[in-house]
Amino acid sequence: MSTSAHLPADTALAGGTVTDRLVEANQRYASGFTDPGMDARPVLKVAVVACMDARLDLHAALGLELGDCHTIRNAGGVVTDDVIRSLTISQRALGTRSVILIHHTGCGLESLTEDFRHELEDEVGQRPPWAVEAFRDVDQDVRQSMQRVRTSPFLLHSDDVRGFVFDVTSGLLREIDPTG
């Protein structure tokens, strides 16, 4: 895409910080932008919860267009209380009905443990209130995430919840059977 902020690595930071570079890319993007006149309600009535991994281009991987979906991302694509908050708003205020959960191969959370919290506590003097949500078995973690969505009392729609593992080497999704 012509709007990409990618530059050769050796010139990437030559003219300022990475944020400066992104702001410049935005100016190019906006110069060719026309108001699509869209409603905030996602066209496909779907919310995608995914890991923040840099190798996962959700729109390209799922054939999504601007305006199609909500994307909710965090480390691991974990269904935390804050993800439930976003899904609740997505469904109750903005009309989505389906939920797709996407974890992926080679996730950074597979190399962490809950010791991460204790190491943080040792370093900074307080333990973070959140769980690391590290995991060993990505399939099982997808199942747990599906279960958290399905059992949330706040959501209007929990009948169409499906979970997948994205293979970062092939680009393919593999669906996870919720019953294991």
Which amino acids are annotated as binding site, given as ranges? 51, 53, 104, 107
Distance CA 129, CA 88 (A): 22
Distance CA 146, CA 160 (A): 10
Q: Which residues bind Zn ion (CB under 5 A)?
A: 51, 53, 107
The smaller minimum CB distance to Zn ion, of residues 53 and 133, is found at: 53
Binding site listing for Zn(2+) = 51, 53, 104, 107
Distance CA 142, CA 166 (A): 11
The smaller minimum CB distance to Zn ion, of residues 51 and 69, is found at: 51
CA of residue 153 relative to chain centroid, distance? 22
- Shortest distance, position 73 Cβ to Zn ion, whole Å: 10
- Shortest distance, position 107 Cβ to Zn ion, whole Å: 3
The smaller minimum CB distance to Zn ion, of residues 71 and 91, is found at: 71
Q: What are phi and psi of 176, to 5 degrees?
A: -105, 130
